[in-house]
Chain A
Amino acid sequence: MEGKRIHLSKILPCIITIILAIVTIWPFYITVLMAFKTPRETFQSFYGLPKVFRLDNFINAWKITNFSLAFKNSFIVTMVSLVFIVLATSMAGYAIARSNKKFYNFIYVLFVSGMMVPFQVIMIPLYKMGRKFGLVNNRWGIILIYICLGVHLAVFLYTGFVKGIPKELEEAATIDGASTPQIFFKVVFPLLKPITMTILVLDTMWIWNDFFLPLLFLQDTKIRTLPLTQFYFYGKYNTQMNLAFAAFILAMIPILIFYFAMQKYIVKGIVAGAVKG
């Protein structure tokens, strides 16, 4: 009896996991498969492997979607936004966590409740403002907006994290005569590495994949980001699914590479931020 029970409790989880994993991978499998096939091959056998793994679809998709340009745009927008988000919000998180005044608490609640605001509420006023200050159709404009929108979550995470750092180190530094900014940049900020990584990772995924904001603010074809070019491309070519899927894969590769490289940080960071928050 004992032997049987051990077997079942080991096999059942395996089976469940494998089934769920297959369901999860299945759309990816279809995507990859379609990208390598021609329409005729798809027609003959939907799930079968192609005879030859041709790169034609990829080459065409690269050219048509002007991939390198879109990639560059996405890259610039994401990177610059991240730098400023981390800077501004880490400082704010520190101030909120270490200060005891009610004012800061109030601001914290304000920031966090900002997470609830649906984008549609602020969309037109934002666009109007952007136009006034020449920020539309301009990379800096959308970067500014990403920074603004990134404030809530980042402040939330930083505050929670800083609260969990023992004050002894800072107190020691104060005794040594360090000024507040010195304490922050030299002592505290390095300790924030885990949560900084979380924010970098989360916000990268958000900004890189964001579609709606670029749709409104980046109409000039020369500065369009990756998701936007994908959308327009699909609208035009959605009868040529093989080509479309090749384009999707091209768009997915950067973010997947990022994911595999940063995996550890994603998990570690979510741990620190979520559980503590």
Chain B
Amino acid sequence: MKKKILVLILIVMVMVTSCIGCGKKNDESVTSKKGDTTSNKEEQPKVTLKMTHFKAEATEGINKIIEAFNEEYPNIEINVDLLEWGNYDTILKTKFASNEIIDIICLKEGDLLNKYGKAGYLADLTDKTFMDNIQDVAVKASATDGKNYAVPVDNSPIAVFYNKKIFKDKGFEIPKTYSELMSIAKQLKEEGTAGFALGYKDEWPLSMFQSRAAVDVLYLQGQPEWGKNYLDGKTTFADTPEWKTVIAQCKDFYTYGNDDPLGVDYNKALDMFAAGDAAMIFQGLWILPEIEKRNPEFFNNDLGIFPYPATEDPSDVKLEATGDFVIAAGAESTHLDEAMKFLEFMTTKEAAKIWTDNIKTISAVKDSSLSFAPCLADIEPYFNNGQIYDAQPYLSQLSGNWDGQITKYIIEYLIDRKTVDEVLEAQDKFMQRTLNN
């Protein structure tokens, strides 16, 4: 019996090791296929860079950019790892905590970028000449404490997308004040169409809304340093009446939006909007490919955009154009030069065009085109007249998960589990706990 078992174990081990061996061989053949874009014997040594990103919709576009990059630098191979956004932060953190080296890291502008920049995991790009290829607004907005740790890649205005046909049929004008917007939404809801498509089962659409509303009614209305003041102990959530306004706006959207917003997720909300069951949706430019997929006719003819009018003053209306996707180099990369070459390539017009054609967000590279989606004609004037602002410098004043947390509390208010005061109190308590860490 003993012999039989030993033999069995041996067989299994042989099978296993040969399988693993098979796996390895496949890996090698795959890598050699990738590097085989050049048949001539290059003098330069082959370098393999490791890159992580989280934007599933951008995978094809990124691969095309890498292909174009390889035409100029055939010896630099880039292995792309697509990680899931929901766990991206966690996985990155775990990797960094155990000193794993990633050469090129994609992030989102804002808290994520600031965190990793301050922690020293990203290479300093402040003085790199290729940063001049990027729009100044974007470079300034994506800086952390005055230093640039990443190249802004795109710019995704967040505004109200609307259904032009419904507006025309009902005789609506583009609203320039908050009450105009609400009366449109109210009428729509009373007449059977949801005013807004709300996918609040995924918490981030609500989180995005409340933070932008906060920028509009708080920071831009005379308190540009509110976050900093908060950290200095000069103010609290509970003491700031503008937060009550923000929450009230959330409530209005909730009231005039589709039924069961907490049961509908982001994808379903897009379905609703594309099908005309909801007339408006507060989102960013990233929804464009998704809308085109669902309803190309709507995308080409009836899709429009207008900036969110958060106040009663029409002159306040500006387009929020915040940087979204950024790309950085790992500070501890052993191939920093090669990583920088790729970052530089990302700032070229060539890369910008591939990006806008495939991913359909506005490129942060200077002078790149806006013609990839018909609805962008609506917001071009705002760009041309300088009526844009970046929300990031305001949003990133408060660190940590403050926005995720207050969103949860706001949801509790929307379902009548908390009063507005309780929401703000709980938020202050939460901040105490996390900031004093």
Contacts and interface: CB of A to CB of B under 8 A. Distances in A.
A221 interface: yes
B94 A79 contact: no
Interface in B1-34: 1-2, 5, 9, 12, 16, 19-20, 23, 26-27, 30
A223 B12 contact: no
Interface residues of B, number: 29
Nearest to B90: A216
A189 B16 contact: no
A139 interface: yes
Contacts of B94: 123-124, 127, 216
B56 interface: yes
B97 interface: yes
A185 interface: yes
A186 B2 CA distance: 6
B16 A79 contact: yes
A236 B100 CA distance: 27
Nearest to A219: B81
Nearest to B26: A222
Given A221-B81, A222-B23, A239-B267, A215 B87 contact: yes
B378 interface: no
A181 B16 CA distance: 26
Contacts of B271: 239
B56 A189 contact: no
B129 interface: no
Nearest to B8: A83
A80 B87 contact: no
Contact of B12 (A79, A189, A222): A79
A43 to B, nearest CB: 11
A14 B164 CA distance: 58
Interface string B94-129: 100111100000000000000000000000000000
A182 B271 CA distance: 67
A128 B97 contact: yes
Contacts of B81: 219-221
A128 B98 contact: yes
Interface stretch (A93-101, A130-138, A154-162, A253-261): A130-138
B1 A186 contact: yes
B19 A235 contact: no
A232 interface: yes
Contacts of A72: 19, 23
Given A128-B97, A222-B23, A222-B27, A216 B12 contact: no
B56 A127 contact: no
Interface of B: 1-2, 5, 9, 12, 16, 19-20, 23, 26-27, 30, 56, 81-87, 91, 94, 97-100, 267, 270-271
Given A79-B12, A83-B12, A131-B98, 14 more contacts: A76-B16, A79-B16, A80-B12, A127-B94, A131-B100, A136-B100, A185-B5, A186-B1, A189-B5, A190-B1, A216-B91, A221-B81, A222-B23, A232-B82
